[in-house]
A and B are shown apart, each in its own frame.
Chain A
Amino acid sequence: MPDRARGSRRGQSEPLRIFGRYAGPATLILSSLAEGPKHGYALTRDIEHFAGVRLAPGTLYEALSRLEGQGLIEAIASDDRRRPYRLTAAGAHALRAHLADQRRVADVGLSRLAQGWDSA
């Protein structure tokens, strides 16, 4: 049922599409939290490690508050002032769908480059 699967995927990626210019930081944060719960500083370091991007504190928390508002991540109760966050089931679905969309675009781009530019 390819059509149904595609429709479902579009529906799931909607939460990240509405993030507009915050979709980039949101994707990085969700990808980092896919490994396990992390607090703000651990997120910054992990994202810097795997993506080569250091999210500034304001941008990081702007995206965190939006993701939390959409129910894609949740804070874990902690005695520490550094409160950790974890991915929710909705967040995992949204991330999977969003990354699949991005992979499809990347595949198309790479394939066209291979056809038109690799021989040049």
Chain B
Amino acid sequence: MRTTRSPETQARRVARLLRCYPRSWRHRYGAEFAELLLADLADRPRDLRRTVDVVRSGMAARLTAAGLTDHELPPAEQIRACLGTVGGALAVIASLGVAMLAQLATSWQRASGGPATAAVGTLGMTAAAVILGALCLAAAGPFGWQLVGAARRHGSRIGPSVALVVAGVAVLVLGSLHFANHWPGTGGTGAEHGLVPGGLAAFGWASTLSLSSFWAHPALLARFPAAELGWMAASPVAWTSVAAGLVTMTRRLELPPAVLRYLAGLAAAGTAAAVVFLVGGASWVLARSAGQLGPFRPGLVDGGELLIMALALIVAVRATGGIRRARQAMVAVRRRDADLQPK
């Protein structure tokens, strides 16, 4: 029996299905695809396979927009998409890595080195974190300059992304500085062995306070001050806001080829540094031994963080490959154009 549904209900269903696709795809194909869906819904009001097909295809379109499928975008667009993806993946690794490193740095302050695996992990992750920080600073200059220029030309296009990043950074900095004062680690004082400056480690600890095994122990969590619980809930939102804003900005900024090449090089170096970071983390978490006591002892939460960082690294490596292929395509186009020039 054919069920009849009002046009409003059908339009709502279509609008819901369209949300599976990224904004850029909807901008190009949304209207005509909605017409097709409406016609298809009229033919077959109930069809689970259609829903599954649209959801799957929408996810594929999102992966394509992120530069993660074999179906690649025009080279410059592909590089921007992949840069955004590498940036997002590195932001995930950085946010989780800061939490791991803060734990290790605390332990290091109390007992330098600790078990060999923890020492390797701490030193490897610290070195990689320094490199990642330097790469961020190296990217900030040219990227910021382009951002200022783009804001003058078409501010409304990137304005919301800039606002997201500024708001996220402001919340993270102010909140972390406030809560870092209650840090149970060195907090910059009483350190016996310095590796990471105490204030910096305290800031890292406070900014990632939400990454905690306390979530699995509600009774203990309930004893936390309300402000601290509020910060544990708010800080991930701030981290997400910063990462999402940066990714969106990178995808929307039309960067000159020279800046794209420069940022592509930094992205490749950042991915390589992230590999070192993860090897350091894995050497600590996976080689858990009986000698690792106290804060040096990795917990389930560290294992979970390592797993998420490994997945983020896979995404970053794939996106870096997408950048490489797009750069090769750009070179091929330049050579072809040069060959076509009258001699």
Contact = CB atoms under 8 A, between A and B. Distances in A.
B37 A57 contact: yes
Nearest to B74: A69
Q: Which of B28, B56, B71 has the most CB of A within 10 A?
A: B71
B303 to A, nearest CB: 36
B71 A61 contact: no
If over half of B's interface residues share one DSSP class (helix, strand or loop), that class is named, otherwise mixed; here it is: helix
Contact of A62 (B34, B35, B61): B61
Interface string A32-60: 00000001110010000000000011111
B40 interface: yes
Question: How large, as a class, is the contact surface on chain B?
Answer: 20 to 34
A18 B71 CA distance: 9
Interface residues of A, number: 20
Given A20-B70, A44-B40, A66-B71, A58 B58 contact: yes
Contacts of A60: 36
A69 B278 CA distance: 37
Contact of A41 (B28, B36, B49, B54): B36
Nearest to A78: B32
B57 A58 contact: yes
B32 A57 contact: no
A44 B70 contact: no
B174 interface: no
Interface in B16-40: 25, 28-29, 31-37, 39-40
A44 B53 contact: no
Nearest to B25: A65
B335 interface: no
A82 B34 CA distance: 9
Given A20-B70, A58-B57, A65 B29 contact: yes
A83 interface: yes
A41 B39 contact: yes
Contact of A57 (B28, B33, B60, B61): B33
A83 B33 CA distance: 9
B50 interface: yes
Contact of A82 (B35, B56, B61): B35
Interface of B: 25, 28-29, 31-37, 39-40, 49-50, 53-58, 60-61, 70-71, 73
Given A39-B32, A56-B50, A58-B57, 10 more contacts: A40-B33, A41-B40, A56-B53, A57-B50, A57-B53, A58-B54, A61-B29, A64-B29, A82-B32, A83-B32
Interface of A: 18, 20, 39-41, 44, 56-62, 64-66, 69, 81-83
